[in-house]
C-alpha cells in the first residue's frame, strides 16, 4: 500500500491552556515570533480562543478555566486537536475499540462537530470538523 500523498495543509494542532492567556499570546509572539492569526478576547482579561502561526504550523490556545466535567478542554493545559472530515465514523471507530470518550459527539458554540477522548496514558485528544483557516 502506498502512503497517502502529502497534503501541505496541517490538520493536527497542539491546543494549550494558560493561566494568563493574554500574556501567553504576547510572550509567544514577542519571544518566539508567532504571528497572531486570531485572538478572541474573553471576560476578565482572558482569551477564549487564539490561533498563532509560525511558518506553516499553527497552535491554538486560550485561558484556562475551572474544571468542567462536561468539557475537559476547559482546564487541561495541553491537548491535541485533529481535524477529520468524517467525525462520526472516527468517533464510532474509537468507541468500538474501547476508547475512553470523555466528551461525546456534540456541536460546539463555534459550530464544530467534535468529541474528546483520552488515550491509553490519559492524554486528551479532540477530533472534529473545525479547521483553522490559512492566512
Q: Is the pLDDT of residue 15 over 90?
A: yes
- Report the alpha-carbon distance of residue 29 to residue 8 in Å, rounded: 23
In tens, the pLDDT along 30-53 reads 989 999 999 999 999 999 999 999
Q: Give the mean pLDDT of 93-97.
A: 95
Helix (H, G, I), strand (E, B) or coil at 28: helix
- Report the alpha-carbon distance of residue 26 to residue 77 in Å, rounded: 18
State residue 134's pLDDT score: 59
- Report the alpha-carbon distance of residue 106 to residue 112 in Å, rounded: 8
Q: Torsion angle of alpha carbons 8, 13, 18, 22, nearest 10°?
A: 40
In tens, the pLDDT along 61-74 reads 999 998 888 888 88
Domain limits, the chain: 12-65+75-128
Helix (H, G, I), strand (E, B) or coil at 112: coil
State residue 2's pLDDT score: 47
CATH code assigned to 12-65+75-128:
3.10.180.10
Q: Is the pLDDT of residue 1 over 80?
A: no
State the residue for C-alpha cell 480562543.
49
**What cell was used for 68?**
468542567
Amino acid at each position: 500500500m502506498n502512503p497517502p500523498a502529502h497534503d501541505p495543509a496541517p490538520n493536527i494542532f497542539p491546543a494549550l491552556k494558560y493561566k494568563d492567556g493574554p500574556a501567553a499570546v504576547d510572550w509567544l509572539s514577542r519571544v518566539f515570533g508567532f504571528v497572531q492569526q486570531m485572538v478572541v478576547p474573553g471576560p476578565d482579561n482572558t482569551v477564549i480562543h487564539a490561533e498563532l502561526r509560525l511558518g506553516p504550523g499553527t497552535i491554538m490556545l486560550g485561558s484556562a478555566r475551572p474544571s468542567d466535567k462536561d468539557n475537559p478542554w476547559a482546564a487541561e493545559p495541553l491537548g491535541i486537536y485533529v481535524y477529520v472530515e468524517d467525525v462520526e465514523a472516527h468517533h464510532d471507530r474509537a468507541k468500538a475499540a474501547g476508547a475512553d470518550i470523555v466528551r461525546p459527539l456534540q456541536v460546539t458554540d463555534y459550530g464544530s462537530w467534535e468529541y474528546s477522548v483520552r488515550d491509553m496514558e490519559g492524554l486528551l485528544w479532540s477530533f472534529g470538523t473545525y479547521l483553522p483557516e490559512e492566512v
